[in-house]
């Protein structure tokens, strides 16, 4: 069994998304599957390894392949640098790109010939199958062998006429294979990374996953395309077993449950709380929940019970204070859900880290007024925190296609996508500068009135 190098390109410190590094769950899940299959994964993370290029250049030389992963945005630049490093120092080693951005922009990635293969959606099974294929003669260059592996896109060596009338590489996709039953997936192998190297003087945060996917159709979000609105979760007992073990082994201050939507299954959330109560546990937890789910959850369990077992903060994607905009975004929730959910969490003394998107397509001044009226009201709650973004379209999402039209390949370059950031603007969509200036002015007023509420960098105007 051979070595596979996995490069994590996400760097939330560089974008202002976080003031501490995140454990690289996207490559850790893949590395766990590879090790369980008998392979030797090596994880390199640009967040904590300043000299990562030198390490990557050396490790890649005898690898079966190098896998890279990132989100849409500035972290693409890290991945492109990593690919360049591999091509220079290990030119014969195949490169595979997976993760959120690759699943959305795979045609552009392959058209530009950045990598040999792209993994679409869940990558654990595909990563193992690719490792086994790489050990055989022909390796990842054999289209017939690649065709037998689910969740891939690749060039098959033939040329075709594109929809734009140009002669281009033919790109094939294999059938979509969803993640296996979560109860059969091995626990994340944290020994693959130096867990405590991600701790800072301010906080010892540990990232963990309890579920995969999201069933909701939000038009601005990548999840409907990457998980096809499917969701699977670990059973409550296993979640508590693993959280308790991580708490004892690595002594974090808090564990961040990085699920796209932790609250998808109300009974599972209740089961996790009851299991923690049964064991007498209080472990500081942070999770992502929809406001509508919080209201529903409160109808089945006192939210004080969540706080008593350690749920200290809940991320709530509120997006807008206008019901008209929420409907256009297919959020499947209302402003009243936001109000009720935040008030219920505040009454239970649980922090609500609310997230807002400004300068949405078709957003009017009246819609913006409604959003700022709501954020000012919520800012008066004792446990309310906020972060604000400018709208940035992600490739292949419904709102992107509403702006630019649906296309198999929109012709964008990955360097363009690397200049897309919900804080500093987007090379793909600059929005309305005057509208954004007004938003920034109102956010500065909000920060002056409620200095402890805005907990992330303010969005910035795109530099031309």
Please tell me the distance from the alpha carbon of residue 33 to that of residue 337, in angstroms, as a whole number.
Answer: 39
> How far, in Å, are 111, 127, 397, 421 from residue 427 at the CA level?
20, 32, 17, 9
Q: pLDDT exceeding 70 applies to what percent of the chain?
A: 98
CA torsion angle 66 71 74 75 (round to 10): -30
Please tell me the distance from the alpha carbon of residue 291 to that of residue 317, in angstroms, as a whole number.
Answer: 8
Is this prediction's pTM over 0.85?
yes
Q: Would you state the structure tokens that stand for residue 453, as one six-digit string?
A: 């509420």
**What is the average pLDDT across 364-369?**
98
| Ordered domains of the chain (ranges, CATH) | 3-173 (3.40.50.2300), 203-391+432-449 (3.80.30.20)
Q: Would you state the structure tokens that stand for residue 457, as one six-digit string?
A: 């960098």
Length of the chain: 464
Can you spell out the DSSP letters for 253-269? Answer: SEEEE--TTTTS-HHHH
Q: Which residue has the tokens 């938003």?
A: 439
162 Cβ contact list (under 8 Å, min separation 6): 168, 408, 409
Highest mean pLDDT among 103-112, 135-144, 167-176: 103-112
| Residue 464: pLDDT over 50 | no
Provide φ and ψ at 218, rounded to 5°: -50, 125
Q: Would you state the structure tokens that stand for residue 139, as one six-digit string?
A: 């390796």
For residue 79, give the 3-state DSSP assignment.
Answer: helix
**What is the average pLDDT across 369-381?**
98
Please tell me the distance from the alpha carbon of residue 196 to that of residue 27, in angstroms, as a whole number.
Answer: 17
Which of 314, 209, 216, 327 lies closest to 264 in space, CA to CA?
Answer: 216
Phi-psi region of 407 (alpha: psi -120 to 50; beta: other; left: phi over 0): beta
> Tell me, what's the pLDDT at 160?
72
Strands 254-257 and 205-208: parallel
Please report which helix (H) or strand (E) contains residue 336, including its range.
helix 335-347
Partnered with residue 449 across adjacent β-strands are: none
Dump pLDDT digits (tens) for 333-365: 999 999 999 999 999 999 999 999 999 999 999
429 Cβ contact list (under 8 Å, min separation 6): 391, 392, 393, 403, 420
> Tell me, what's the pLDDT at 243?
98
390 confidence band (pLDDT: 50, 70, 90): very high
């Amino acid at each position: 069994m051979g070595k596979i190098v996995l490069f994590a390109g996400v760097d939330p410190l560089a974008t202002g998304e976080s003031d501490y590094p995140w454990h690289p769950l996207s490559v850790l899940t893949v590395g766990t599957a590879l090790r369980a299959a008998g392979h030797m994964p090596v994880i390199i993370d640009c967040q904590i390894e300043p000299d990562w290029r030198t390490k990557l250049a050396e490790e890649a030389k005898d690898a079966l392949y190098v896998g890279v992963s990132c989100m849409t945005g500035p972290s693409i630049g890290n991945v492109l640098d990593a690919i360049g490093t591999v091509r220079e120092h290990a030119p014969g080693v195949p490169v595979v790109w997976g993760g959120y951005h690759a699943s959305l922009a795979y045609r552009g990635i392959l058209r530009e010939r950045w990598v040999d293969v792209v993994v679409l959606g869940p990558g654990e099974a595909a990563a193992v199958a690719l490792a086994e294929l790489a050990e055989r003669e022909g390796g990842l260059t054999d289209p017939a062998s690649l065709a037998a592996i689910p969740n891939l896109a690749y060039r098959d060596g033939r040329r075709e006429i594109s929809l734009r009338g140009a002669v281009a590489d033919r790109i094939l996709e294999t059938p979509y294979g969803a993640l296996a039953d979560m109860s059969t997936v091995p626990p994340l192998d944290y020994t693959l990374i130096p867990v405590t190297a991600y701790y800072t003087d301010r906080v010892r945060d540990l990232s963990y996953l309890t579920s995969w996917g999201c069933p909701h159709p939000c038009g601005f979000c990548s999840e409907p395309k990457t998980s096809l609105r499917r969701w699977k979760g670990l059973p409550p007992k296993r979640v508590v077993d693993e959280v308790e073990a991580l708490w004892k082994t690595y002594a974090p201050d808090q564990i961040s449950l990085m699920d796209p939507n932790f609250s998808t299954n109300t009974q599972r959330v209740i089961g996790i709380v009851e299991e923690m109560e049964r064991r007498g546990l209080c472990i500081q937890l942070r999770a992502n929940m929809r406001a509508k789910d919080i209201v529903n959850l409160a109808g089945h369990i006192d939210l004080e019970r969540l706080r008593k077992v350690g749920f200290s903060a809940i991320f709530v994607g509120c997006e807008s204070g206008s019901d008209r905009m929420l409907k256009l975004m297919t959020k499947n929730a209302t402003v009243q859900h936001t109000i009720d959910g935040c008030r219920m969490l505040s009454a239970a003394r649980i922090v609500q880290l609310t997230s807002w998107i400004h300068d949405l397509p078709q957003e009017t001044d009246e819609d913006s007024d409604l959003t700022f009226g709501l954020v000012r009201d919520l800012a008066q709650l004792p446990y309310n925190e906020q972060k604000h973004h400018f709208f940035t379209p992600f490739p292949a999402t419904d709102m992107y296609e509403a702006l630019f039209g649906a296309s198999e390949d929109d012709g964008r370059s990955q360097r363009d996508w690397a200049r897309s950031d919900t804080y500093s603007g987007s090379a793909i969509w600059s929005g309305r500068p005057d509208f954004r200036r007004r938003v920034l002015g109102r956010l500065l007023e909000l920060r002056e009135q409620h200095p402890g509420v805005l907990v992330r960098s303010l969005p910035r105007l795109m530099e031309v």
